[in-house]
Chains A and B, each alone.
Chain A
Amino acid sequence: MTVNVSKPAFNIREKLSELDKPTGIKGTELMRSETVQDARNLVSAGRKNKFINGAMRISQRGTSHSLNADSKYSLDRIQHIVRGTHDSTYTQSDDHPDGFSKSLKISPNGTHTPSGSDNAGFQSFIEGHDLQDLQFGTANPKSFTVSFYAKSASSNNGHQYTFEIRSYPSGGATTRIKTFPFVVTTTWQRFTFTFTGDGLKDIVDSSGRGFACLWNLAAGPDDITSQYTDWYELGKFMCVNGQSNFQNNTSNEFYLTGVQLEVGDEATEFEHLSYDEDLSRCQRYFNVWPPRSGGTPAWPVYTGGSQASGYIWIPYTMRAIPTPTDKGTGTSTTTGHAYNNNGASVSTRYANGTSPTLSCGGDTANGHYALKMDFGSYSSGGHEADIASWNGALPGIFLDSEL
């Protein structure tokens, strides 16, 4: 039996020309992908930005911070660095490049010429847990790319600053660093730096510091040297030759936003998260809880044989047991009232009276903790506190579990 098959005619010249159809850079790269993982990486599927609050939208402590002491925080995850003198104001600014809504703005409060090993700048930490996919300390360490948008005021137009990564190996070994210089202008620029992986030392696999991302804005001569193009064991903040002094003029400004740290050799488009995702990621390290509960007794009180203390659960999983402070006092001493079951205040029957102290406790295994308001040891009168209210400063109790 003979079967006749007929196919519609086609123009072979037309089909051949389609082979040259432009597919764009990504299309070409995708067609060249050898594995599914390569393709996934190329289109940046899934979460990619390891830097938290890169769009500078979250500032739970307030929107302006004048800082002159080391290790103080401004916008969420942004920590002030002082070696010598560094007195600057950090602001959450509405100045931003296209596609963003906020930026971090920093401006010096006074002029200062750094000497010796002085350092001025700021940093943000990434937990070691979140960096293990970089495979540092193995035969196949992965490279990663940092990108950010920055600009200056006219007075520091053309200033050169230094971006540095410090990597924290396991066992408490000395950090390893790598540096890149960059020059800011009065217009927003996107800077991208690709870091090759470090095959010699790992990154500690813990909830402690894994990376420090540093913007070094000034340094004394002892901390300015050639660029570290390879990972180098050094526990210091270092700047690259040509470094400018951010603190030479109080009109100087440094703006930063769109910070992204991603695996791979390319800086891809910034990963915009929803506001609640950004906030949730920050709340692992810092949150405000509870809001002021004056007039609303909400703390169950435990009265043991000799003391009274109120307790509430912290509704966020945090990196480590946090340190609580009252924004008004700047300390762990706050204002509160304990009441008996008739609604009468009995605070003064305890040693701390209406100035109880705050502390936190819990099990570090799962990140859930409780907050205690301690009225102190029992002194006189009926020992019958049942419930308490917290009456400290707005907006609420600061719970700090930063790195």
Chain B
Amino acid sequence: MARYKILETTINEDVSTSILNKDTGIICPKCTGNKEYDQFLQDVKEQGLGIVEGPDITTESYVTLRLKEYPPLEEQLDKIYHSTLTAWKAEIKAIKDKYPKTITGGSTGGNAAPAWVQTEVDKLNS
């Protein structure tokens, strides 16, 4: 039974990592010297990687994916005005077809602990 869960947030290319202690509900940073994090590594050292659940893997839904590709509204209106409604429809349809409604997105939990956990625990033993 996992006692800890790794939490990750990705902002552009930066990933911020925290660790949730499921027993206490406290989230600590991945930071040597923070006493909760040091205790996390010590617990993994004594009880093994089985007590750690990896971060959820999140995939985007068709709504988000389509929103990212639709041109700005001004451009769409411009296209209808200068071209035709048919041309606009074709462009939008291409995006809809690219991301069908079957892509529902969501997040999956219960993943394995990331490799860095074992690396950090090994440093305790060195």
Contacts and interface: CB of A to CB of B under 8 A. Distances in A.
Partners in one complex: yes
Contact of A331 (B25, B32, B58, B60): B25
Interface of B: 7, 9-11, 16-18, 20, 24-29, 31-36, 56, 58-60, 64, 67-68, 105, 107
Given A304-B10, A306-B58, A333 B33 contact: no
A302 B25 CA distance: 24
A357 B27 contact: yes
B68 A361 contact: no
Contacts of A401: 34
A359 B27 contact: yes
A304 B64 CA distance: 10
Contacts of B36: 323
User: What 4 A-B pairs come out closest when comparing CB atoms?
Assistant: A331-B25, A320-B33, A332-B27, A321-B31
Contacts of B7: 357, 359, 374
A272 to B, nearest CB: 30
B38 to A, nearest CB: 9
Nearest to A309: B9
Contacts of B56: 377
B64 A331 contact: no
Nearest to B107: A377
Contacts of A309: 9
A89 interface: no
Most interface-central of A320, A323, A360 (chain B CB within 10 A):
A323
Contacts of B26: 323, 325, 331-332
Contacts of B11: 302, 304
A222 B112 CA distance: 43
B124 to A, nearest CB: 9
A378 interface: yes
A401 B37 CA distance: 11
B16 A358 contact: no
Contact of A359 (B16, B32, B67, B68): B16
A372 interface: yes
B28 to A, nearest CB: 4
Nearest to B33: A320
Interface in A258-312: 302, 304-307, 309
A165 to B, nearest CB: 20
Interface string A319-333: 111111100011111
Nearest to A71: B35
Interface string A378-399: 1000010000000000000000
A322 B28 CA distance: 7
B64 A383 contact: yes
B25 A332 contact: yes
A307 B35 contact: no
A331 B27 CA distance: 8
A331 B26 CA distance: 5
A359 to B, nearest CB: 4
Given A323-B36, A359-B18, A403-B35, A374 B9 contact: yes
Contact of A306 (B16, B35, B64): B64
A41 to B, nearest CB: 32
A364 to B, nearest CB: 6
A293 B67 CA distance: 33
16 contacts: A304-B11, A306-B59, A306-B105, A320-B31, A321-B31, A323-B26, A323-B36, A324-B27, A331-B25, A332-B26, A357-B7, A357-B27, A358-B27, A359-B18, A361-B17, A383-B67
A357 B16 CA distance: 14
Contacts of B107: 377
Interface in A345-374: 357-361, 364, 369, 372, 374
B25 A359 contact: no
A329 B25 contact: yes
A323 B19 CA distance: 10
Contacts of B68: 305
A306 B25 contact: no
A302 B11 CA distance: 8
Given A323-B26, A323-B28, A358-B27, A306 B33 contact: no
A208 interface: yes
Nearest to B56: A377
